[in-house]
Amino acid sequence: MWTFNDFPSGVVKQEYGADITPGWLDRVRQATVRLSNCTASFVSSTGLMLTNQHCVAACLDQHSGGGRSLLDDGFLARSRGAELSCGAQLADVLLETRNITEQVRAAGRGLSEQAASEARKQTLSRLEQACEQDRARTRTGAPLKCETVALYDGGQYWLYRYRRYTDVRLVFAPERDIAAFGGDPDNFRFPRWSLDFALLRAYQANGKPAQTPDYFEINPAGPDAGQLVFVSGHPGATERMLTVSELETLRDVDLPGWLLRAAELRGRYIQFGKSSREAQRMVEAPLESLENAIKVHRVELEALLDETLLRRKRQEEAALRTRIAADPALARSVGDPWATIAKAQQVERALSLPYTFLEEGAGFNSRLFNYARLLVRAAKERTKPSVQRLREYGDPALPRLEQQLGAALPVHPELEKLTLSFSLERMRERLGADEPLVRTLLAHDTPDSLATRLIEGSKLADPAVRLQLWNGGAEAVARSEDPMIDLARRVDPAAREIRKRYEAEVEAPVSGAEQKIGQARFRLLGTSVPPDATFTLRLNFGTVQGWRENGEQIEPFTHLRRLFERDTGEEPFRVPPSWLAAKDALDPDSKFDLSTNNDIVGGNSGSPLIAADGRLVGLVFDGNLHSIASSFEFDPQLDRAVAVHPAIMLEALRTVYNATELLKELGWQ
């Protein structure tokens, strides 16, 4: 997960004989797009963007309703005018990066630790603001977005300048049955047959399509097995720098606790969904995201339970400590941050249950409760100076909070009762019926009866009511008789108390110690290893590869023929009618999905897979099961990225969807 600034072109040249020039890097950078939580890439000079269907689900949903579901049915704009605006979707293109480490360091020099941290923060804000005001530098006059980025736990600071497109429109998406063929059972599996692709278009402020001379030509032939391929995108977050004691806390406490709760909630959702067609629709989205998270965390737990991973981590940790010890000055300045972290882990374990249930909301799983807590806390926090508030209520955050409160998101009372009753019941089980808050809340109630009364009695599903309380401030919130506001008021003292302890005794020492380790590591290793993922632009290289599983070789390509063989006629293995109708016209030997050993992680969804010749040869949408554990450590033997093959995209647009105009724009006709 290399940054474009420190990409090891020399290694690529040496190992594969490919020339990755600065010009190649610039073109790839400018053709790669950051969406809200995915990656996309330009595939025409007029702003057409390729990404995953699952990355545009919110836009499809936005245009559904009244019996029509674009998620189910797919969408094709047969003309520019028919393209559908994707409300909240942004598209950012990284224009420039500037190393500001020296400026940030200088700001804190000679000051106390606390004052230095404050001075650094101010410097970062100042640099961001100055950068954004510099509008003149974009050719199109599109708004600029500037963000500072800390790499290597503060070993480096950078200023990233993006061109931001705020007008993004939906051009094409296939039906969900083919985009997500295989559903949860196939999620993170390979061999795979998912057509997880969609097309968007970026528009300029003047309503004209963006001019994007740097775009990827798509090569429908795709790559060969073993061929060198690159992934350019925005890996979200990795945890490869966690210490062994932190990994052990994840393994022993966080992951098992989360998984047990999530598995039960999954069961409740599924059973609820069987009660009616409407219930089925209600749980669809939350169940899908829950099942994805369960798979991720289950495999993470399995990886941590496999002693080989932790053994390697122990060895790495010991090796780094040995290198630090060999430099007495460094050793003195670093101290023993591992011991600090290990000690804090003991506190984290002890606080885990009350912190998770009371403060992190595992005891109050409800949208209405979240609104209520936000209102109750904001009312109190806004009476203080910004810097003294809980961090999520600082002045810069307030507009977004107000926007959240005002947004008319659907609230399903039956689902709210389900999740709230479930979480109250588990809180009572894990904290005990005699825990003071539990005892008070359930003094004359079952979890069910309390949840029912709260959800049926609360008016917070109405954005107007929420905004009234927001605008009314502390007084309005104190006077409110809304039962959910009342619950949030009652929970708040205990929740704040445990949070205070958690921040003071876990977060603060851990984050300070992590920075010390990160900076020492950076001092010793520099940019010879890539920094942890931060949802900023990265590039990596790999090859088209299957892998060996239980002594069997998994081939890196799948073919269309097998899709039809796997059709059960029932979700999630149902080939949609459009494909059944086109079956005879389709080439059964067409390649469908492929696997590569590129190092990817969530956020890379929608990333272009690029050949050394600069052409796009695949669209990353998933990884194999093993790749989930790459959060902790990338294993090139087993971890695989999974991509849609360009051949099947061409087949789909041409033979199934007859998308003539798009084919022309993509140079395919």
Query: Rounded to whole angstroms, what are the CA distances from 197 to 41, 397, 633?
Result: 12, 34, 28
How far apart (Å, rounded) are the C-alpha atoms in residues 554 and 539? 26
Residue 314 within binding range of its own copies, rule CB under 8 A: no
Q: Is 289 helix (H, G, I), strand (E, B) or coil?
A: helix
Binding-site member from 321, 561, 566, 583 for its own copies (CB under 8 A): 566
Residue 206 within binding range of its own copies, rule CB under 8 A: no
How far apart (Å, rounded) are the C-alpha atoms in residues 439 and 442? 5
Residue 301 within binding range of its own copies, rule CB under 8 A: yes
Q: Is 640 helix (H, G, I), strand (E, B) or coil?
A: coil
Q: Output the smallest distance, CB 260 to its own copies, in A.
A: 5
How far apart (Å, rounded) are the C-alpha atoms in residues 161 and 407? 29
Residue 258 within binding range of its own copies, rule CB under 8 A: no
Give me the residues paired with residue 619 across strands.
608, 644
Residue 550 within binding range of its own copies, rule CB under 8 A: yes
Q: Output the smallest distance, CB 412 to its own copies, in A.
A: 15
Residue 445 within binding range of its own copies, rule CB under 8 A: yes
Q: Output the smallest distance, CB 559 to its own copies, in A.
A: 14
- Choose the binding region for its own copies from 121-129, 260-268, 603-611, 658-666 (rule: CB under 8 A): 260-268
Q: Is 161 helix (H, G, I), strand (E, B) or coil?
A: strand
Q: Mark residue 143 as left, alpha or beta (left: phi above 0; alpha: psi -120 to 50; beta: remaining).
A: beta
- Choose the binding region for its own copies from 149-157, 180-188, 222-230, 609-617 (rule: CB under 8 A): 180-188
Given CA atoms 27, 154, 334, 252 in this order, what sign does their dihedral have?
negative
Q: Mark residue 644 as left, alpha or beta (left: phi above 0; alpha: psi -120 to 50; beta: remaining).
A: beta
Nearer to its own copies, 261 or 313 (CB): 261
The H or E element that residue 423 is part of is helix 413-431
Residue 184 near residue 288 (C-beta atoms within 8 A): yes
Residue 442 within binding range of its own copies, rule CB under 8 A: yes
**Residue-by-residue DSSP string for 425-454:** HHHHHHH-TTSHHHHHHTTT--HHHHHHHH
Nearer to its own copies, 567 or 599 (CB): 567
- Choose the binding region for its own copies from 121-129, 133-141, 567-575, 598-606 (rule: CB under 8 A): 567-575
Nearer to its own copies, 247 or 460 (CB): 247
Binding-site member from 48, 378, 418, 488 for its own copies (CB under 8 A): 418
Q: Output the smallest distance, CB 437 to its own copies, in A.
A: 14
Half-sphere exposure in the Cβ direction for 621 (13 Å, CA): 30
Q: Which of residues 469-528 bind its own copies (CB under 8 A)?
A: none
Q: Output the smallest distance, CB 172 to its own copies, in A.
A: 27
Please give the structure tokens belonging to residue 482: 């809304």
Residue 387 within binding range of its own copies, rule CB under 8 A: no
Burial 234-250 (b: 16+ CB within 10 A, else e): bbbebebbbbbbbbbbb
Residue 346 within binding range of its own copies, rule CB under 8 A: no
How far apart (Å, rounded) are the C-alpha atoms in residues 457 and 459? 7
Give the pairing of strands 84-85 and 167-173: antiparallel
Binding-site member from 102, 434, 475, 589 for its own copies (CB under 8 A): 434
Q: Output the smallest distance, CB 511 to its own copies, in A.
A: 25
Residue 422 within binding range of its own copies, rule CB under 8 A: yes
- Choose the binding region for its own copies from 2-10, 76-84, 209-217, 436-444 (rule: CB under 8 A): 436-444
Residue 353 within binding range of its own copies, rule CB under 8 A: no
Q: Output the smallest distance, CB 258 to its own copies, in A.
A: 11
User: How many residues interact with its own copies (rule CB under 8 A)?
Assistant: 53
Residue 448 within binding range of its own copies, rule CB under 8 A: yes
Tokens 């059973």 map to which residue?
A: 271
Nearer to its own copies, 73 or 302 (CB): 302
In degrees, to the nearest 5, what angle opens at C-alpha 630 toward C-alphas 241 and 196? 135
Please give the structure tokens belonging to residue 617: 């040869």
Residue 193 near residue 629 (C-beta atoms within 8 A): no
List contacts with its own copies (CB under 8 A).
182, 184-186, 189, 191, 248, 251-252, 256, 259-261, 263-272, 274-275, 298, 301-302, 305-307, 350, 418, 422, 428-429, 432-434, 442-446, 448-449, 550, 566, 568-571, 573
